[in-house]
Each structure stands twice: as C-alpha cells, then as structure tokens.
Amino acid sequence: MNKIKILWINTKADFTGGCESYIYHTARQLSENGFSNTLLYDVDGWTEPGFTKAFDAAFPRVVLSRQVKEIDPDIIYVHRLEGIKAIKELISTGKPVIRFFHDHKLFCLREHKYKTISHQTCTKPIGLRCYPCLGFINRGNGIFPIKISSLNKLKAEQNINKKLSGFVVASEYMKSHLIDHGFSASKIQVNPLYSWKQEENQNPADDNYLLFTGQLVRGKGLDILLQAMTMLTHKIQLKIAGSGRQEEKFKIMSQKLGLDKRVTFLGFVEQQKLKSLYSNCTCVIMPSRVPETFGLSGLEAMSWSKPVIASDVGGISQWLTDGDNGYLVPSNQAEKLAVKIDKLLYNREEAVKMGKRGNDIYKEKFTPAAHLKSLQAYIKVIIKGSKL
C-alpha cells in the first residue's frame, strides 16, 4: 500500500510556540505510522534544522500552486497561513485541504478575543459589536504604529476558508465558535491535543511554589494572578516561565505590589528545564482572559500529576473539571482566584489527589496515540471523500 502523502503548511519552520510543537511531534509520529510528510513554510524568519528533520522534505513557500502540483500530496494540512490569495490557490489545486485552527486570528479583529478597554473575555462572533470594542485598531509594524483591521476583509477570509474540505479543532468550544461564524458542523473534527512528555511522575511536590507558564501578554491574565498573590493568606512563591512583549510591565507591576521576594521571572525556559518546573511545583495557574482554544499548559501539568487552577474560558473545561483535577474560576476576578489558591494550599493531601486524578484523565483521554488514531481516521475519510 502506498504511503499517504501529507503536505503541511505553516508560516514558521521553528519551535516558536504550541502550534509549531504540535506540527513537529505529530509529523514525526505520522511518519512512524507510514505517512509521508512534506512542509512548506514562509521565506521570512529562521529555519530551524531540528524542526525540519520531522519531515521527509521541507521547502520555503514561493509559488504555492506550482509547488503543490510538483509535490502531489494526497491531502494538505494547513496550520498558520494568512491571506485570501493563498487559500484560493490551495483550493484551485483540486487537492483536499484541511485546516487546524490554533487561535482566534480568523475570528477576532484584534486576534486576542478580549475587549480592548474593559479587558473582559469575549465569546461572541464578529460583527458590528467589534467597532465599539475598538477591535479594529491594532499595533502596526515599522513606520506605521497603528493598523486598522477591516471587518469585511476578515469576513471574506472566513468565507474562503469555509470552502476547505475540513477543519480540526482541539475543543468543543472552538467547534461551537466556528459554527457561530457559519462553518459547517459536518466538516469539523474535535480532536483534543496531547502532551508528548514520556517520563512518569507520581511524586508530591519537592518545592513550595505556584507555576505560571506562557507568553507574557495581557491575554494570559498574569496581572490577575499578581493581584491574587497579594490576597493570599499563604505567602507562597510564584515562578513565571515565559517571555513576551509586556514582560517589563508585569515586572514593574510585581514591584509596585510588593511581590519582589515572592515572584520570580525566569524568562524563556528550555523544554528540559520546564519539565523540572512542572515536576516540582505545587500547582499550575492559568488565569487567562483569552478564551483558550484548548490550554496545553494545563495538560502538561496533568501529565506531571499537578492540579490546575484556571479561568473558566474557552476550551479549558474540555480537560479541567472543577473540584476534580483542579478548580475553575471566573476570568478577570483576582479575589476569587486567590480564594481557590488558598483552598488548595490549605489541603495539600487533596491537592495531591487532584494531581493524580488529572494524571489518570491525561492517560485516559489525552495521549499521542488517541490524537493520532483520530487524526489518521479523519485524514483517510477526507481523502476518500475527495475521490468519490
């Protein structure tokens, strides 16, 4: 039987975020299962040799339609790809095309899905309500500090994407969000993400600290967590692993709140050191105001038998059940977050039980094997449907 040939398309060929980590690990595992994988990526930016090793071949994206013709894949798997022209080119090739939606870029004028002024979480589909939100005003590049986004242009890009053969999302929340924007429910496959950690860990925490991992941007809600730290009855430490454009603002905020001796900004942390942070923490905190499309950091915590306290937004409830493997809290409410953190710290035995329960859930539902089985079946259905 001939190998199924998958053409992956993404803007980056580097380990820049969760999207790229997913691409790398999934391509490697599909290769082990008899699939052939080729990557097309944007010319701009660094090309990481270690990343491209996951593929049989990798090329810069130049003339998309011609490259698709030469590679002749059985299916095209799109991840991050901007613009109407590129999607039209893919459709014109006649090949089946599926797309994984990793973020809200196609579903929010400002891409972040929380309100500009109030910073409240937004779950509504795009529409005229986006203008009072000031979502059309965004950070520009180069000599233009401000970029104006167009509602009509975003809708046009959505409409061309709706013509693709299928869509993969990581949570029921994201499926509902696509349907709210007019995407066909029959084309959408919900396939939860997975953790690629191989080591086992069932030990209680060796250290006494809370852990936050992720980009240091307002959407991740670190400001809410810092406020909550001042309300705790437990004077526990907080370690922050990550970097981002608002890192300096958060450091200044931490100082003003008098948290210098309790909060440590670690900056970007390599994967091996990040494993140690997960392994030794008491709890992982995810105070996002952005409705997470899934929330992979929480799954990483579960793989290390750690409880999670997270905002009840987006796809987080796909893997976190309040009172079972952690706690859910309303977004943007520091006081309620503090109450839940204190509740967990008051009962360390219960915290350990929650962590072990999370690990059981992880092993039951969120393994690479489960994701790969579902994805392979979906790919074969799409390919078969395109040949009918």
Q: Which amino acid is at 153?
A: K
pLDDT 10s digits, 305-364: 999 999 999 999 999 999 999 999 999 999 999 999 999 999 999 999 999 999 999 999
Mean pLDDT within 133-158: 72
Model pTM?
0.89
CA distance to 87, 106, 242, 365, 368, per residue, from 77 (Å)? 12, 17, 29, 23, 18
Mean pLDDT within 213-231: 96
Percent of the chain predicted with pLDDT > 90: 77
Q: Partners of 98 in the beta sheet?
A: 77, 166
| The predicted structure's pLDDT at residue 142 | 58
Q: 197 falls in which pLDDT band (50, 70, 90)?
A: low
Q: Do 355 and 326 meet the contact criterion of CB atoms below 8 Å apart? A: no
Domains along the sequence of the chain with CATH: 5-194+368-386 (3.40.50.2000), 209-365 (3.40.50.2000)
Q: Which residue has the tokens 């000599």?
A: 143
| The predicted structure's pLDDT at residue 144 | 52
Q: Which residue has the tokens 């990483």?
A: 300
Q: H helices of the chain, where?
A: 18-32, 49-52, 64-71, 84-92, 151-161, 172-180, 222-229, 247-256, 271-280, 296-303, 334-346, 348-365, 368-386
Percent of the chain predicted with pLDDT > 70: 93
pLDDT above 60 for 201: no
Name the average pLDDT for the chain.
Answer: 91
Q: Do 281 and 266 meet the contact criterion of CB atoms below 8 Å apart? A: no
Q: 2 falls in which pLDDT band (50, 70, 90)?
A: confident
Mean pLDDT within 251-278: 93
CA distance to 7, 78, 221, per residue, from 47 (Å)? 17, 18, 31
Torsion of CA 190, 196, 197, 200, to 10 degrees: 60
| The predicted structure's pLDDT at residue 113 | 87
CA distance to 216, 265, 272, per residue, from 269 (Å)? 13, 10, 8
Higher model confidence: residue 164 or residue 131?
164
pLDDT above 90 for 136: no
pLDDT 10s digits, 246-257: 999 999 999 999
pLDDT 10s digits, 8-54: 999 999 988 889 989 999 999 999 999 999 999 999 888 999 999 99
pLDDT above 80 for 196: no
CA distance to 253, 271, 377, per residue, from 153 (Å)? 37, 38, 34
Q: Which residue has the tokens 């196609």?
A: 106
User: Helix 84-92 and helix 64-71: axis angle, to 10°?
Assistant: 30
**Residue 59: which H helix or E strand, with range?**
strand 57-60
Mean pLDDT within 271-289: 92
| The predicted structure's pLDDT at residue 200 | 52
| The predicted structure's pLDDT at residue 147 | 63
Give the closest residue to 328 by CA, choosing from 356, 287, 365: 287
**Residue 240: which H helix or E strand, with range?**
strand 237-241
| The predicted structure's pLDDT at residue 97 | 98
CA distance to 54, 370, 374, per residue, from 377 (Å)? 21, 11, 5
